[in-house]
Structure 1
Amino acid sequence: MTQRTSVHSEEFTDWLASLRAWAAKSPDQNTAWREAAAQGLLSLAVSETAGGAYVGYEGACLALEALAEESGLSGLPFSMAAQMWACQEPILEFGDPAQHDRYLKPLLAGTAVGAFAATEYDSGSDLLSLSTRADQDRDGRWRLNGAKTFVTNGPTADVFLILARTAEGSALSGLSAFLVPRQTPGLRLGRVIDKSGLAGAELGSLTLDDCTVSYANRLGSTGGGFAVLMHAMRYERAFILAPTLGLMARALRQAFNHVRARSQFGRPLSSYDTVRQRLVRMHLSLTSARELLHATARQADARSLDHHRSSLTKLHVSTEFNRFCQELPDVYGGYALLPETGAMALVADAVASRYYSGTSDMQTKIIAEGLGL
Structure 2
Amino acid sequence: MASQEFTYWLAGLRSRAAKCRDGDSLWHTAASQGLLSLAIPESAGGGGAGYEAACLALETLAQESGLSGTPFAMAAQAWACQEPLIEFGSKPQHEKYLTPLLAGAAKGAFAATEYDSGSDLLSLSTRAVRDSGGRWRLNGSKTFVTNGPTADVFLILARTAEGSPLTGLTAFLVPRGTPGLHIGMAMDKSGLTGADLGTLNIDDCALDDSDVLGGPGAGFAVLMHAMRYERAFILAPALGLMARALRQAVEHARSRSQFGHPLASYDTIRQRLVRMHVSLTSARELLHATARCADAGTLDHGRSSLTKLHVSTEFNRFCQELPDVYGGYALLPETGATALLTDAVASRYYSGTSDMQVKIIAEGLGL
TM-score by length of 1: 0.97
Aligned to 1:146: 140
1:1-37 Cα deviation digits (max 9, x unpaired): xxxx24xx21111110110000011244223323211
The residue identity in structure 2 corresponding to 1:95 is G
Aligned to 1:77: 71
Aligned to 2:89: 95
* Aligned partner of 1:254 among 248, 267, 280: 248
Aligned to 1:340: 334
* Aligned partner of 2:291 among 294, 297, 308: 297
CA distance in 2, matches of 1:16, 1:191: 34
Aligned to 2:47: 53
* Number of residues of Structure 1 aligned to a counterpart in Structure 2: 367
1:56-92 Cα deviation digits (max 9, x unpaired): 0000000000000000000000000000000000000
Give the match's secondary structure for 1:65. helix
Per the TM alignment, residue 140 of structure 1 is displaced from its structure 2 partner at its CA by: 2.7
1:196-241 Cα deviation digits (max 9, x unpaired): 1100101100011001111100000211100000000000000000
Q: Is 2:306 the counterpart of 1:307?
A: no
Give the match's secondary structure for 1:192. coil
Aligned to 1:327: 321
The residue identity in structure 1 corresponding to 2:186 is V
The residue identity in structure 2 corresponding to 1:125 is S
Q: Which moved more, 1:63-72 or 1:139-148?
A: 139-148
1:168-211 Cα deviation digits (max 9, x unpaired): 00100000000000110000012221111100101100011001
CA distance in 1, matches of 2:10, 2:138: 42
Per the TM alignment, residue 138 of structure 1 is displaced from its structure 2 partner at its CA by: 3.2
Q: Which moved more, 1:284-293 or 1:212-221?
A: 212-221
CA distance in 2, matches of 1:109, 1:26: 19
CA distance in 2, matches of 1:244, 1:30: 19
TM-score by length of 2: 0.99
Per the TM alignment, residue 347 of structure 1 is displaced from its structure 2 partner at its CA by: 0.2
Give the match's secondary structure for 1:116. strand
For the 8 Å contact 2:319–2:341, the answer to whether it is kept is yes
Per the TM alignment, residue 137 of structure 1 is displaced from its structure 2 partner at its CA by: 2.1
Give the match's secondary structure for 1:167. coil
For the 8 Å contact 2:16–2:29, the answer to whether it is kept is no
Aligned to 1:194: 188
CA distance in 2, matches of 1:14, 1:126: 45
Aligned to 1:272: 266
CA distance in 1, matches of 2:252, 2:167: 56
1:267-321 Cα deviation digits (max 9, x unpaired): 0000001100000000000000000000000000000000000000000000000
* Aligned partner of 2:363 among 353, 369, 373: 369
* Aligned partner of 2:20 among 23, 26, 41: 26
The residue identity in structure 2 corresponding to 1:343 is A
Q: Is 2:354 the counterpart of 1:360?
A: yes
User: Identity percentage over the alignment?
Assistant: 77
For the 8 Å contact 1:34–1:109, the answer to whether it is kept is no
Give the match's secondary structure for 2:185. strand
For the 8 Å contact 2:17–2:29, the answer to whether it is kept is no
Aligned to 2:131: 137
The residue identity in structure 2 corresponding to 1:302 is A
The residue identity in structure 2 corresponding to 1:258 is H
Q: Is 2:38 the counterpart of 1:44?
A: yes
CA distance in 2, matches of 1:29, 1:125: 29
CA distance in 1, matches of 2:131, 2:99: 30
Q: CA RMSD in A?
A: 0.8
* Aligned partner of 1:111 among 97, 105, 114: 105
CA distance in 2, matches of 1:104, 1:136: 26
For the 8 Å contact 1:34–1:111, the answer to whether it is kept is no
Q: Is 2:336 the counterpart of 1:349?
A: no
Aligned to 1:245: 239
For the 8 Å contact 1:92–1:100, the answer to whether it is kept is yes
CA distance in 1, matches of 2:117, 2:77: 22
Q: Structure 1, unaligned stretches of length 5 or more?
A: none
1:121-159 Cα deviation digits (max 9, x unpaired): 111110001010011223332110000000000000000
